[in-house]
């Protein structure tokens, strides 16, 4: 990793705030809002993602962002890569014909969906979100891409909570995280 990469990562990490016991006792919430507030830090996140994608993949057709914070990073990355952006939303939030998949949460069940015509068979996609915890939401998004017969090149996240082993749930898909806690 180049020194400039280290500087960008240091900047990003310095802006992540930890809130103990939120939303409940025993959980440390990692807040990325200060990153979004800093043009320099936000640019650093997108630049590091762009660098990773360009080094690892010859062709990307779409960036797929997960509800809701993947919507913040995804369009910026898609614009830098010169490709389109697609939304994966919670069930019932998209108009028109949709495709959905159910998945488990730590506290129940949920469904993720995309518009039926959002991804075409054979398209090469990168998934993006702010956080990888248990992997449920990214797993559901990968399943949606598989249903649409798209090729998932990899998953990008700003932060990964390593102790929760979410990356294991996503295998064989590669996860690239900027920060690990």
Per residue in 63-80, pLDDT tens? Answer: 999 999 999 999 999 999
Catalytic residues: 69, 106
Per residue in 14-56, pLDDT tens? Answer: 999 999 999 999 999 999 999 999 999 999 999 999 999 999 9
103-111 long-range contacts (CB < 8 A, ≥24 apart) are: 103/136, 103/137, 103/139, 103/140, 103/143, 104/136, 105/136, 106/134, 106/136, 110/136, 110/137, 110/140, 111/140
pLDDT for 30: 96
Structural domain including 131 reads: 3-180
pLDDT for 137: 94
pTM: predicted TM-score of the whole model, two decimal places: 0.95
At residue 8 the predicted structure's pLDDT band, cuts being 50, 70 and 90, is very high
pLDDT for 95: 97
Q: What CATH number has the domain bearing residue 28?
A: 3.40.50.2020
How many domains does the structure of the chain reveal?
Answer: 1
Determine what percent of the chain is predicted with pLDDT higher than 70.
99
Which residues are CB-neighbours of 60 under 8 A, at least 6 positions away? 53, 81, 83, 124, 125, 126, 153
């Amino acid at each position: 990793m180049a020194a400039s990469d280290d500087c960008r990562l240091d900047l990003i990490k310095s802006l992540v705030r930890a809130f103990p016991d939120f939303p409940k006792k025993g959980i440390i919430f990692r807040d990325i809002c200060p990153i979004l507030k800093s043009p320099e830090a936000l640019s650093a996140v997108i630049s590091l993602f762009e660098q990773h994608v360009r080094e690892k993949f010859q062709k990307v057709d779409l960036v797929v962002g997960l509800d809701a914070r993947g919507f913040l990073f995804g369009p910026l990355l898609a614009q830098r890569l010169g490709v389109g952006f697609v939304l994966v939303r919670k069930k019932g939030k998209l108009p028109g014909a949709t495709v959905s998949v159910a998945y488990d949460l730590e506290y129940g069940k949920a469904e993720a969906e995309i518009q039926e015509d959002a991804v075409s068979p054979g398209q090469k996609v990168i998934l993006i979100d702010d956080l990888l915890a248990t992997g449920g939401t990214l797993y559901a998004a990968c399943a949606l891409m598989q249903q649409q017969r798209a090729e998932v090149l990899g998953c990008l996240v700003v932060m990964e909570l390593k102790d929760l082993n979410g990356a294991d749930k996503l295998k064989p898909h590669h996860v690239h995280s900027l920060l690990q806690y």
